[in-house]
């Protein structure tokens, strides 16, 4: 071994004394590309703080300790890391991590390497974005936060077409899942608003893909839970950005009127005469009488008014339609009349329409403000046993009766419950994300609850299990969003008729099974060929 290489090798391995695996990687690879390999290994951090941070995610439910955390400065570094892995007789697993906002291990790599995607936003490369104002798209790195993309595009009077409720997460993270929010009824999820991707596959190949080029990888990666590659760039569709928003919440005491009005509001998504954003919430009675007496929307007196409505009507729950009308200076004079006409068509409880006039950014970043409150109260970095479901429209009333008026009727207040409809034709079935079939409308139901006290996690997990058991027993036909399944058979059932195609794509783009092992969807690295047991 040349003296300079030996010195570099000793320097690199000196900070990895407890991980013989990396010592062997560097030694085996030196004969072919010594300095290059040592440079990649030198970017793998194994200090206690790095390992601890990468061992858990937002859910704080599962823990998986990696052997190291990789800090790339460019997509080429990710290519090199993956090629280093598959060059070994027993490859190490690799998973990208943005903000780690997954709940059940999608961003974890037990015994493998976690790629800290956010490190590509630092150093010489900085913020990676390229905007085309005439063609209405922006190219952004997969590591970028949606909140940063918002501010960058607003400088040109533009914004992405579809948003999740929380913007302090990465482009690659949401596109690996789907990306849903209040605009999805008219524009589809975020994955339906992407023109092009750069993806680093499990073969260490950087592939540019789109609906017209390398289409199988494009549709597999969108909603693909990280199984087919690492998204390093996305071309996101834009539209002219409004300046202001009328932010509305209207209350219901019966689920039939609530769902009927929601479905009316999404029935003509291209008309331009209704809300630009539609979501819904369910507040169980104990949430209003015993929950936190603060809100990013309601004032204290309005919360008291809602609590009195619960007591006066004996309702098990209060339902809200949350809507938003966007406007600019040229439409400011007419937007209030437009809202009044729309509200006249709806059957909410008289006197229970609440309106706020806010900036576009203030509306979009509303959950970011709530996060700051929760952090200050010590209620953010706690376990989040979230359960997200897509429920067919024909079964939503059965779900309400069995879950909100049954299983969760006496549940303690702990977080947020979402319930709102989306149009099925705004989703592309070629993408990996699964939705209920056979109906033109389905509901997103999110039990976004937190374990803030002793015993909460176990109780919430039992309630989630009871909800899933109810859905199975009653044949509700729901699908999980941000899915978690404990067995390979569970994943087969989840993907349904897509399973065989996805298994074949896994064998093509990640045959060694090194990508995103934490969810247990396919065979792990070092075993049989990924997907070989899938057909």
- Does any domain span residue 415? yes
Boundary residue ending a domain (218, 240, 262): 240
The residue with tokens 């030694």 is 27
* Whether 445 and 494 share a structural domain: no
> Residue 459's domain spans which residues?
244-480
Of these residues, 57, 165, 322, 370, which one is catalytic?
165
- Classify 179 in phi/psi space as left (phi over 0), alpha (psi -120 to 50) or beta: left
- Does any domain span residue 12? no
Active site annotation includes 101 = yes
Sign of CA dihedral 368, 370, 371, 373: positive
The CATH number given to whatever domain includes residue 318 is 3.40.462.10
* Whether 312 and 417 share a structural domain: yes
Distances (CA, A) of 236 to 182, 197, 274, 379, 412: 18, 9, 25, 33, 40
How far apart are alpha carbons 378 and 372 in whole angstroms?
A: 10
* Whether 75 and 200 share a structural domain: no
- Does any domain span residue 107? yes
* Whether 225 and 85 share a structural domain: no
Minimal CA–CA distance to 166: which of 319, 58, 317? 58
Q: How many CB atoms lie within 10 A of CB 1?
A: 12
Q: pLDDT per position in the chain (535 positions), as tens? A: 443 333 333 333 333 433 445 545 444 544 445 555 778 889 999 999 999 999 999 999 999 999 999 999 999 999 999 999 999 999 999 999 999 999 888 899 999 999 999 999 754 445 567 899 899 999 999 999 999 999 999 999 999 999 999 999 999 999 999 999 999 999 999 999 999 999 999 999 999 999 999 999 999 999 999 999 999 999 999 999 999 999 999 999 999 999 999 999 999 876 667 999 999 999 887 666 665 545 678 888 998 899 889 888 888 889 999 999 999 999 999 999 999 999 999 999 999 999 999 999 999 999 999 899 888 888 889 999 999 999 999 999 999 999 999 999 887 766 889 999 999 999 999 999 999 988 999 999 999 999 988 899 999 999 999 999 999 999 999 999 999 999 999 999 999 999 999 999 999 999 999 999 989 999 876 444 566 544 3
- Does any domain span residue 13? no
The CATH number given to whatever domain includes residue 57 is 3.30.43.10
Number of domains in the chain: 4
How far apart are alpha carbons 177 and 103 in whole angstroms?
A: 12
- Does any domain span residue 313? yes
* Whether 289 and 383 share a structural domain: yes
Boundary residue ending a domain (100, 120, 140): 120
Minimal CA–CA distance to 403: which of 286, 306, 316, 320? 316
pLDDT at 7: 34
Boundary residue ending a domain (53, 85, 120): 120
Of these residues, 116, 198, 279, 370, which one is catalytic?
279
pTM value is 0.91
- Does any domain span residue 151? yes
**What is the rounded (10 degree) CA torsion for 5, 6, 8, 10?**
160
Minimal CA–CA distance to 233: which of 150, 117, 169, 143? 143
Instruction: Please state the φ and ψ torsions of residue 445, each to the nearest 5 degrees.
Output: -120, 120
* Whether 320 and 372 share a structural domain: yes
Q: How many CB atoms lie within 10 A of CB 337?
A: 9
How far apart are alpha carbons 202 and 514 in whole angstroms?
A: 7
* Whether 351 and 449 share a structural domain: yes
pLDDT at 9: 36
pLDDT at 68: 97
* Whether 187 and 275 share a structural domain: no
- Does any domain span residue 266? yes
The CATH number given to whatever domain includes residue 212 is 3.30.465.10
Active site annotation includes 279 = yes
* Whether 95 and 40 share a structural domain: yes
Of these residues, 34, 71, 77, 101, which one is catalytic?
101
- Does any domain span residue 202? yes
* Whether 452 and 352 share a structural domain: yes
pLDDT at 480: 97
* Whether 263 and 363 share a structural domain: yes
Minimal CA–CA distance to 141: which of 160, 127, 151, 155? 127
pLDDT at 514: 97
* Whether 249 and 223 share a structural domain: no
């Amino acid at each position: 071994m040349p003296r300079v290489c030996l010195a570099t090798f000793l320097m690199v391995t000196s900070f990895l004394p407890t991980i013989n695996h990396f010592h062997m990687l560097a030694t085996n690879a030196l004969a072919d590309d010594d300095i290059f390999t040592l440079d990649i290994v030198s970017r793998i951090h194994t200090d206690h703080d790095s390992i601890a941070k990468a061992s858990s995610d937002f859910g704080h439910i599962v823990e998986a300790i990696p052997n190291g955390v990789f800090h790339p400065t460019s997509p080429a570094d990710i290519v090199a890391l993956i090629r280093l892995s598959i060059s070994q007789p027993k490859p190490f697993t690799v998973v990208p991590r943005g903000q780690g906002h997954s709940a059940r291990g999608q961003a974890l790599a037990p015994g493998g390497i976690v790629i800290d995607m956010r490190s590509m936003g630092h150093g010489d490369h900085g913020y990676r974005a390229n905007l085309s104002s005439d063609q209405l798209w922006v190219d952004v790195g997969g590591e970028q936060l949606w909140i940063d993309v918002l501010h960058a595009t607003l400088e040109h009077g533009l914004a992405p077409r579809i948003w999740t409720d929380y913007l302090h997460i990465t482009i690659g993270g949401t596109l690996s899942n789907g990306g849903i929010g209040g605009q999805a009824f008219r524009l589809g999820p975020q994955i339906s608003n992407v023109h092009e991707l750069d993806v680093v596959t499990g073969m260490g190949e950087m592939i540019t893909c789109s609906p017209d080029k390398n289409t199988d990888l494009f549709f597999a990666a969108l909603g693909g839970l990280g199984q087919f590659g690492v998204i390093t760039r996305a071309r996101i569709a834009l539209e002219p950005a409004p300046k202001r928003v009328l932010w509305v919440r209207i209350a219901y005491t019966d689920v039939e009127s609530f769902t009927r009005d929601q479905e009316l509001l999404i029935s003509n998504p291209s008309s331009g005469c209704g809300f630009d954003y539609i979501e819904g919430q369910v507040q169980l009675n104990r949430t209003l009488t015993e929950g936190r007496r603060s809100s990013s929307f309601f004032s204290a007196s309005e919360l008291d008014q809602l609590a009195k409505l619960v007591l006066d009507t004996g309702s098990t729950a209060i339902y809200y339609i949350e809507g938003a009308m966007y406007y600019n200076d040229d439409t400011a004079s007419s937007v209030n009349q437009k809202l009044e006409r729309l509200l006249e068509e709806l059957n909410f409880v008289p006197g229970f329409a609440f309106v706020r006039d806010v900036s576009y950014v203030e509306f979009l970043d509303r959950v970011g403000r709530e996060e700051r409150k929760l952090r200050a109260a010590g209620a953010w970095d706690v376990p989040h046993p979230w359960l997200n479901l897509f429920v067919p429209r024909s079964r939503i009333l059965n779900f309400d009766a069995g879950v909100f008026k049954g299983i969760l009727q006496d549940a303690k207040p702990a977080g947020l419950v979402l319930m709102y409809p989306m149009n099925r034709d705004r989703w592309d079935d070629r993408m990996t994300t699964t939705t209920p079939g056979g109906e033109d409308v389905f509901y997103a139901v999110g039990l976004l609850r937190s374990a803030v006290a002793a015993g909460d996690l176990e109780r919430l997990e039992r309630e989630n299990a009871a909800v899933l058991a109810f859905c199975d027993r009653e044949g509700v036909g729901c699908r999980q969003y941000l899915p978690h399944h404990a067995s390979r058979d569970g994943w087969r059932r989840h993907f349904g008729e897509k399973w065989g195609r996805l298994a074949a794509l896994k064998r093509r783009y990640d045959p060694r099974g090194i990508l995103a092992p934490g969810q247990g969807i396919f065979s792990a690295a070092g075993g049989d060929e990924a997907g070989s047991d899938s057909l």
